[in-house]
């Protein structure tokens, strides 16, 4: 088992050097990669598929300040796009319903959602719309 963990650590180390990862993401990824390597080497791929049905992490913890983790595959993004969700055979509405998010929840990291919200408030599009109707 120790060789699987060492291999998983090498893989996760390479991944962490390519993109920023939180401590929880690193630990979760080491566990899942080590388990996957062990399953592949012993020929027990069916057990991985059963475990994949459960979300990789708590949906409440998936949306962080600088990243959002896809609960289907465990990858981290700034925004979970329609194209990415389509690769899992889901729409954003289906994804939100599956993991218990509100319909209005943005599938973006907290900092990006806050930045977008501020930008829209600064633009004041609702005022422009009423001015154009009045004219």
- The string of DSSP letters for 54-79 reads S-SS-HHHHB-SS-EE-TTT--EESB
* Burial label, 69 (beta-carbon count in 10 A; 0-12, 13-18, 19+): buried
Structure token digits, residue 36: 């996957």
pLDDT of residue 16: 82
Give dist(CA 20, CA 27) in Å, integer.
Answer: 14
What is the pLDDT, as a whole number, of residue 50?
46
Identify which of 8, 15, 74 has the alpha carbon closest to the alpha carbon of residue 38.
8
Task: Decide which of 82 and 134 is more confident.
Answer: 82
Backbone angles phi, psi at 130, to 5 degrees: -70, -35
Give the model's confidence band at 112: pLDDT under 50 very low, under 70 low, under 90 confident, else very high: very high
Please give the structure tokens belonging to residue 19: 């993109």
93 or 20, higher pLDDT? 93
Q: Domain 57-135 is of which CATH architecture?
A: Orthogonal Bundle (1.10)
User: Domain ranges in the chain?
Assistant: 1-54, 57-135
pLDDT tens digits for 70-103?
A: 998 888 999 999 999 999 899 999 999 999 999 9
What pLDDT is attached to residue 45?
A: 58
Non-local CB neighbours of 63 within 8 Å, separated by 6+ positions: 69, 105, 109, 110
**113-123 pLDDT tens trace:** 999 999 999 99
How far is residue 103's CA from residue 98's CA, in Å, rounded to a whole number? 11
pLDDT digits (tens, 9 = 90+) for 27-80: 888 888 888 888 877 776 544 444 445 555 788 889 999 999 999 888 899 999
Rounded to two decimals, the pTM is 0.54
């Amino acid at each position: 088992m120790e060789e699987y963990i060492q291999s998983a650590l090498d893989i996760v180390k390479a991944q962490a050097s390519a993109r920023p990862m939180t401590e929880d993401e690193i630990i979760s990824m080491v566990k899942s990669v080590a388990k996957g390597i062990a399953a592949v080497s012993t020929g027990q791929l069916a057990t991985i598929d059963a475990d994949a049905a459960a979300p990789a992490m708590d949906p409440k913890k998936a949306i962080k300040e600088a990243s959002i983790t896809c609960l289907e595959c465990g990858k981290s993004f700034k925004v979970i796009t329609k194209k990415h969700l389509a690769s899992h055979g889901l729409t954003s509405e289906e994804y939100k319903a599956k993991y218990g998010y509100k319909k209005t929840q943005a599938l973006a990291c907290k900092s990006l959602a806050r930045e977008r919200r501020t930008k829209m408030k600064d633009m004041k599009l609702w005022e422009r719309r009423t001015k154009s109707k009045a004219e």
